[in-house]
C-alpha cells in the first residue's frame, strides 16, 4: 500500500535573537503515515501552544521542518520543484479558522472561485468554469444560485466557510488540512460543516487532517486522534477509546472540560495543579500541571501501548509495552 503523506521524525524549533538566542521546540519527533488508498480523517487536538498550527504550516509547506522529513507521494516536500511542486500545491489544500479572512469584500463569490480555476488551468471555457463551480458548491451542500454573484457581507459565516471548502474541493485535493474550521462558525452551523467534511472523505476520497482544540467536534468527525501538548504526542489512538477512556492526565483534563449533557458527570472534576517552576527539556512536558507527577517524570516518557488502538506517553502506564513514535500510525484506525 503506497503512502500519500508521511511524516518521518518531524521536529520544528523556532529560534529568537542573535545574542543569547533562545529556542522553542514547537513540535517534537512526530511520525505519521496516511495511505493513498484509505482516505481518512485524523484529528490533531490540543490547546493553544500545543504545536497544532505549526503542524498545519509544515504540512502545507509554508515552513520547513528543523529535523525529519515530510514525504508526499514519495517525495520530500522541501525538494519539490516545477510541475511536482504545482501538483503538491493543488493536491494539498487548506481550510482555516476564519471564514471571513480569505474574502475580499469588493469581490463576489465567483471571483474567489475563479482564481484557482485560472491559476491551475482547470477549465478551457467560461461554461466549463461555471460547471466546476456548480459541482464544488453542490458537493458542500450549497445551491449555486444562492451564493454565486453575491458579496461576502451577503453570506452567513457558515456559507462562507462552506465556500472555502468548495474552493479547496475545486482543485480535487488528495489531502485537506482543516485548521479549526468550525471554531468561528455559529454553533448551529457547525454540524453542517463537519458533515460536509465527512462527505468529502467518504464520497470524494479526500483525506483530512482535522486540527482542533475542541474534543466534541473531534469525536463527531474522526475515527482516530492524536493529542498534542507542547509539541509532543501525549496520547493517540481510536477516538472512542481516547475520549471515553482517556489515559493521559492531560487528555483527562481536556475531556473533563467538555460540558457533556450528563447530569451525573461533574464538569471540571479533575484537579489540575499549576506549579511555577519550569520543566526540564528532557522531562515530561506536562509535569508542571500534572497532579500525579513523580520523580521519574523528570525524564521524558515514551509512548506506552495500553490497548490495541490506544497509547499514552505517561509513566502511569509503564507496565505496558513501549511503542516507538515512528509506529504511531499502527494505532490509528482508518
Ligand atoms: Fe504526569 Fe508523569 Fe504522566 Fe507526565 S509522565 S503525565 S508528569 S504522571
pLDDT tens for 168-217 read 989 989 999 999 988 877 777 788 889 889 988 999 899 999 999 989 89
Q: CA 11, CA 82: separation in Å to the nearest integer? A: 26
Reported in sequence order, the residue ranges of the chain that DSSP labels E, i.e. its strands, are 3-16, 22-35, 41-45, 67-72, 75-76, 92-95, 175-179, 207-212, 224-229, 232-238, 303-307, 310-312, 322-323
Span from the CA of 326 to the centroid of ligand 1 (angstroms)? 21
Decide whether any atom of ligand 1 lies within 6 Å of the 272 Cβ.
no
Grouping H, G, I as helix, E, B as strand and the rest as coil, residue 28 is strand
Report the DSSP beta bridge partners of residue 189. none
Q: CA 31, CA 19: separation in Å to the nearest integer? A: 33
pLDDT tens for 84-101 read 999 999 999 999 887 677
| Contact in structure between 231 and 281 (CB atoms under 8 Å) | no
Decide whether any atom of ligand 1 lies within 6 Å of the 316 Cβ.
yes
Probe residue for ligand 1, chosen from 228, 246, 289, 290 as the CB with the greatest number of ligand atoms within 8 Å: 290
Q: CA 99, CA 158: separation in Å to the nearest integer? A: 8
Nearest by Cα to 70 from 78, 52, 323: 78
CA geometry: angle at 29 spanning 225 and 93, to 5°? 55
- The verdict on pTM exceeding 0.85 is yes
Going residue by residue through the chain (334 aa), what tens digit of pLDDT does each one get? 789 999 999 999 998 776 667 788 999 999 999 999 999 999 999 988 899 999 999 999 999 999 999 999 999 999 999 999 999 999 999 998 876 777 788 899 999 999 999 999 999 999 999 999 999 999 888 999 999 999 989 998 888 888 998 999 899 899 999 999 888 777 777 888 898 899 889 998 999 999 999 898 988 899 999 999 999 999 999 999 999 999 999 999 999 887 766 545 544 445 444 443 434 468 999 999 999 999 999 999 999 999 999 999 999 999 999 999 989 998 898 8
Span from the CA of 327 to the centroid of ligand 1 (angstroms)? 21
Amino acid at each position: 500500500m503506497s503512502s500519500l503523506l508521511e511524516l518521518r521524525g518531524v521536529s520544528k524549533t523556532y529560534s529568537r535573537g542573535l545574542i543569547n538566542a533562545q529556542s522553542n521546540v514547537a513540535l517534537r519527533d512526530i511520525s505519521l503515515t496516511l495511505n493513498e488508498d484509505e482516505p481518512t480523517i485524523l484529528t490533531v487536538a490540543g490547546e493553544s501552544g500545543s504545536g497544532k498550527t505549526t503542524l498545519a504550516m509544515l504540512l502545507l509547506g509554508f515552513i520547513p521542518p528543523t529535523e525529519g522529513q515530510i514525504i508526499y507521494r514519495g517525495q520530500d516536500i522541501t525538494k519539490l520543484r516545477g510541475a511536482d511542486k504545482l501538483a503538491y500545491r493543488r493536491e494539498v489544500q487548506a481550510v482555516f479558522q476564519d471564514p471571513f479572512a480569505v474574502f475580499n469584500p469588493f469581490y463576489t463569490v465567483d471571483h474567489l472561485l475563479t482564481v484557482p480555476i485560472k491559476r491551475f488551468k482547470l477549465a478551457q471555457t467560461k461554461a466549463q468554469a461555471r460547471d466546476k463551480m456548480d459541482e464544488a458548491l453542490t458537493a458542500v451542500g450549497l445551491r449555486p444560485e444562492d451564493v454565486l454573484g453575491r458579496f461576502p457581507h451577503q453570506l452567513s459565516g457558515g456559507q462562507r466557510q462552506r465556500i472555502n471548502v468548495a474552493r479547496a474541493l475545486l482543485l480535487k485535493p488528495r489531502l485537506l488540512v482543516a485548521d479549526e474550521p468550525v471554531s468561528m462558525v455559529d454553533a448551529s452551523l457547525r454540524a453542517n460543516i463537519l458533515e460536509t467534511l465527512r462527505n468529502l472523505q467518504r464520497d470524494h476520497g479526500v483525506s483530512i487532517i482535522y486540527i482542533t482544540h475542541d474534543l466534541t467536534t473531534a469525536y463527531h468527525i474522526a475515527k482516530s486522534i492524536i493529542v498534542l501538548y507542547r509539541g509532543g504526542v501525549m496520547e493517540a489512538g481510536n477516538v472512542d477509546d481516547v475520549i471515553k477512556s482517556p489515559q493521559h492526565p492531560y487528555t483527562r483534563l481536556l475531556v473533563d472540560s467538555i460540558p457533556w449533557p450528563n447530569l451525573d458527570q461533574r464538569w471540571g472534576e479533575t484537579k489540575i495543579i499549576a506549579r511555577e517552576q519550569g520543566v526540564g527539556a528532557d522531562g515530561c512536558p506536562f509535569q508542571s500541571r500534572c497532579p500525579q507527577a513523580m520523580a521519574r517524570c523528570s525524564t521524558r516518557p515514551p509512548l506506552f501501548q495500553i490497548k490495541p488502538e490506544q497509547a499514552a506517553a505517561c509513566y502511569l502506564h509503564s507496565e505496558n509495552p513501549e511503542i516507538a513514535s515512528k509506529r504511531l500510525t499502527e494505532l490509528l484506525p482508518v
